[in-house]
Structure 1
């Protein structure tokens, strides 16, 4: 079997990432050597490969679904927004430059060539490459410089399936509109649709599926049912809106309550997935100081804009709430930097000297060169494997050592992402937190986060196998874009 496929979506967070991961897991279980690919990713959730390259976290998960070690070619272009107007461009795993939208346009031709080279290398080394699009292929204002959707499909001759989230409503209009807005050459690559996140009896959906086929001349390859617990290393903070939210109020002493501050430029919030996977641990993403009151642990997570997000903490009263808190606080990467006494940033924000929250004896200095590493160490007597992605370098001037950072009383700080995925360390840390918070919570002794991820990936593979027309999908991958009717602008295939 040889070929490739592009999984596009009607919107961001339609399910492209998880469908791509599910197809990868389904194919690898059929004995197919498959690799994931996303030409251009805009995400603040990233990962460091064994080769020291920074790629989107979703592509790392998709690589795991394909039972591969992730490499830079799987996500050659990563955009990391630092504000509403500027983003860092990461090319082949290394920072290239910071640009606004107009400046980025000048790089598009070069970046497109780099992306196509990465795709060709993956196609040469694997039987099948499953590509993930970005946003929607019908963003016609961006079509001229498109790298990740129809621009990629046409340049590489890829068939395209469009995923739509029926749970948010309007999926039939979104499917039809996606096709109708494209020009004829782009429409020729749109091969069919996948309905995602359906709740209910498929029979009730069938009249709509039939009408969609009549209107577009394209099949629906399947309807994937809603399945709880499949949020896997998502790349978009929009997905936080779908996370479990628990109202404030009394809880049992056996429950541990974690409040994660939802920073405006929150990054690598997937660090907290391992806590949410623990029985008896409630993880909430919060923006109000009052929401910290009943938390047993407050987490300041990573940030792409440390100084800006620190100013936001102060404006919203969260900084004072954290400073005056009597109880455990954990800062990770950007959150750790905010806990420092002093921050010197002439790189990320250009703000120069800024006072931190002063809870840890640390001075942070931002450097132009980004640290990208896969460190190992020990904490609480257990080995820890993690990864680092940061410009700020922390000089620790006191406290107890904690991974690469420090601890003072009930406050911990580290630049290491992924540390909580280490099961023995996580259990020991939570045991200490519970004791300091006066909780009777005891971590479950047998939770393996790695095994849980594998179970989720297998569940995605099962969804694909059981609910998609896998025979038709295989033919599509092998044969490329089929002959499909073209819609005139605002038109229909009906006579």
Structure 2
């Protein structure tokens, strides 16, 4: 294996399965003794993580690095866009915020970002045997092609072979795969080497004729069909993942079932905080968009937000704010995490994120929030309920408390808890102790399972992704693409006709 081999995993749409396929390939290669790293040039996501050296990257790339068995680094996700209110996004460059821009202003940064992206990929290719790159959205977004730095723009710049993933569970997968290739200009098409079909749950013999016709129409093979596999919702990049039905959400509820309602904020961020709750036997996690969704909840969670003040206004418009205040004053548990914690305070002063100035919070915790221009990024550790807690923090809002009981870095008053720490619930001992107290306050006959390990479940899931790649993809073909690149001659596909083979590229 030569050092510096690379491959780009693109998709017909957002949430087609690019992240899990990338992670699966990383885990499969790592098992072969290959030194492999993930890479996503530009990620638009509200789910992020803090690396060991204090850089902020997309949570999916952090997970992919874990799949590869390497330390997550900023160069693995050099550009992170974090959407906020008013169609603006924060640009995080190599792990540090550098600007707040709208779509027009973003163009002024594009060449600088392109240089950083290309340099970051080159750095990884110099250091690792293989770099598995993940695209963003779809490469067929032809309105954005001129400024693209993460799909075919990256593939052309670095001469990367491209595999396109299509989600058959959505329907229309053959049209999506064909159309993706057909809409690309010939030089881009020359790098598209094959397809992967994701989330198939039918009879393979019924799919086979379609795969053959797709090959005849495009001149490109399908490199494998990944079966529908429940429970692979790892570190999703955007809130589309929240719209997937959870198996536990349809489970019958007994008197011992602990019911958790997570408020579905418009700018919800780091919602992976709740994944650790969902793995606990006897805990059902549901999303709430109105007061009625909170009625039977034993615990209401206000999660992180990229737009604390505007999401707080949304809570009030929906009647959720009043419902949360009523339940808290009745002694029913509420947990606020980061932006959700800020909403629970008495007062929020924000001249940074929203520019709204002083805004009244929900007043459920004795705290005041002041937004600072500099972002706090860290990997704090502490104790609660006698248990060690490791976490991470990403916020502009600085919370000062004036009472209540200490709770991690935040406070508790009555049945209301607040903390800026993300990831605390991934600590098994702390999670079990917290849920035990919540169940006691809620009067629920719930008993935690003492042997549930969130880290072990995560590792098992990453192993499952590696298994799927090994068992269902043409790994010999993947090796050839990584080592040799795309075939020298691939047909040009026109939207309305059969492919034709040019003289070469």
Are 2:229 and 1:232 equivalent residues in the alignment?
Answer: no
Aligned mate of 1:20, from 19, 22, 28: 22
The 8 Å contact of residues 75 and 92 in structure 1, kept in 2 or not, is answered as yes
Are 2:318 and 1:316 equivalent residues in the alignment?
Answer: yes
What is the CA distance between 1:251 and its match in structure 2? 2.7
Q: Deviations over 1:43-101 (max 9, x none)?
A: 00000000100000000000000011100000000000002511000000000100011
Are 2:459 and 1:437 equivalent residues in the alignment?
Answer: no
Separation in structure 2 between the aligned mates of residue 230 and residue 382 of structure 1, nearest angstrom: 29
Aligned pairs for 1:380-391 within 5 A? 380-391=385-396
Separation in structure 2 between the aligned mates of residue 242 and residue 304 of structure 1, nearest angstrom: 22
Q: Deviations over 1:90-127 (max 9, x none)?
A: 00000010001111011111101101111011111100
Other-structure match for 2:84: 82
The 8 Å contact of residues 343 and 353 in structure 1, kept in 2 or not, is answered as yes
Separation in structure 1 between the aligned mates of residue 61 and residue 279 of structure 2, nearest angstrom: 21
The 8 Å contact of residues 215 and 494 in structure 1, kept in 2 or not, is answered as no
Using the size of structure 1 for normalisation, the TM-score is: 0.99
The 8 Å contact of residues 11 and 165 in structure 2, kept in 1 or not, is answered as yes
Q: Deviations over 1:300-324 (max 9, x none)?
A: 0000000000000000000000000
Q: Deviations over 1:210-243 (max 9, x none)?
A: 0000000000000000000000011111011114
Separation in structure 2 between the aligned mates of residue 484 and residue 388 of structure 1, nearest angstrom: 47
- Could you list the structure 1 runs, at least 4 aligned residues long, displaced by more than 2 angstroms after superposition: 245-251, 488-491
What is the CA distance between 1:491 and its match in structure 2? 2.7
Q: Deviations over 1:106-153 (max 9, x none)?
A: 111110110111101111110000000000000000000001000000
Other-structure match for 1:196: 198
SS in 1 for 2:498: coil
Aligned pairs for 1:53-132 within 5 A? 53-83=55-85, 85-132=87-134
Aligned mate of 2:282, from 276, 280, 304: 280
Separation in structure 2 between the aligned mates of residue 72 and residue 99 of structure 1, nearest angstrom: 21
SS in 1 for 2:187: helix
The 8 Å contact of residues 248 and 294 in structure 1, kept in 2 or not, is answered as no
The 8 Å contact of residues 492 and 500 in structure 2, kept in 1 or not, is answered as no
Say how many residue pairs are matched. 495
What is the CA distance between 1:492 and its match in structure 2? 1.8
Aligned pairs for 1:320-331 within 5 A? 320-325=322-327, 326=330, 327-331=332-336
Separation in structure 1 between the aligned mates of residue 77 and residue 245 of structure 2, nearest angstrom: 26
Separation in structure 2 between the aligned mates of residue 279 and residue 291 of structure 1, nearest angstrom: 21
Aligned pairs for 1:357-368 within 5 A? 357-368=362-373
Other-structure match for 1:157: 159
Gap runs ≥5 in structure 2 = none
Separation in structure 1 between the aligned mates of residue 494 and residue 320 of structure 2, nearest angstrom: 53
Other-structure match for 1:492: 498
Aligned mate of 2:398, from 393, 398, 403: 393
Using the size of structure 2 for normalisation, the TM-score is: 0.97
What is the CA distance between 1:494 and its match in structure 2? 7.0
Separation in structure 1 between the aligned mates of residue 46 and residue 262 of structure 2, nearest angstrom: 16
Separation in structure 2 between the aligned mates of residue 202 and residue 414 of structure 1, nearest angstrom: 49
Separation in structure 2 between the aligned mates of residue 147 and residue 399 of structure 1, nearest angstrom: 49
Are 2:469 and 1:464 equivalent residues in the alignment?
Answer: yes
- Structure 1 pair 470–247 and aligned structure 2 pair: CA distance change class (3 A): closer
What is the CA distance between 1:434 and its match in structure 2? 0.4
Separation in structure 1 between the aligned mates of residue 234 and residue 285 of structure 2, nearest angstrom: 15
Aligned mate of 1:407, from 406, 412, 424: 412
Are 2:377 and 1:375 equivalent residues in the alignment?
Answer: no
What is the CA distance between 1:4 and its match in structure 2? 0.3
Separation in structure 2 between the aligned mates of residue 256 and residue 438 of structure 1, nearest angstrom: 10
Separation in structure 2 between the aligned mates of residue 164 and residue 360 of structure 1, nearest angstrom: 47
Are 2:307 and 1:302 equivalent residues in the alignment?
Answer: no
Separation in structure 1 between the aligned mates of residue 249 and residue 381 of structure 2, nearest angstrom: 37
Separation in structure 2 between the aligned mates of residue 93 and residue 248 of structure 1, nearest angstrom: 39
Gap runs ≥5 in structure 1 = none
Separation in structure 2 between the aligned mates of residue 219 and residue 421 of structure 1, nearest angstrom: 41
The 8 Å contact of residues 87 and 100 in structure 1, kept in 2 or not, is answered as yes
RMSD, matched Cα: 1.2
What is the CA distance between 1:25 and its match in structure 2? 0.2
The 8 Å contact of residues 179 and 495 in structure 2, kept in 1 or not, is answered as no
Separation in structure 1 between the aligned mates of residue 210 and residue 269 of structure 2, nearest angstrom: 39
Q: Deviations over 1:172-191 (max 9, x none)?
A: 00000000000011101111
The 8 Å contact of residues 248 and 291 in structure 1, kept in 2 or not, is answered as no
Separation in structure 2 between the aligned mates of residue 250 and residue 459 of structure 1, nearest angstrom: 27
SS in 1 for 2:362: coil
Separation in structure 2 between the aligned mates of residue 386 and residue 307 of structure 1, nearest angstrom: 24
Separation in structure 2 between the aligned mates of residue 173 and residue 319 of structure 1, nearest angstrom: 44
Separation in structure 2 between the aligned mates of residue 299 and residue 478 of structure 1, nearest angstrom: 48
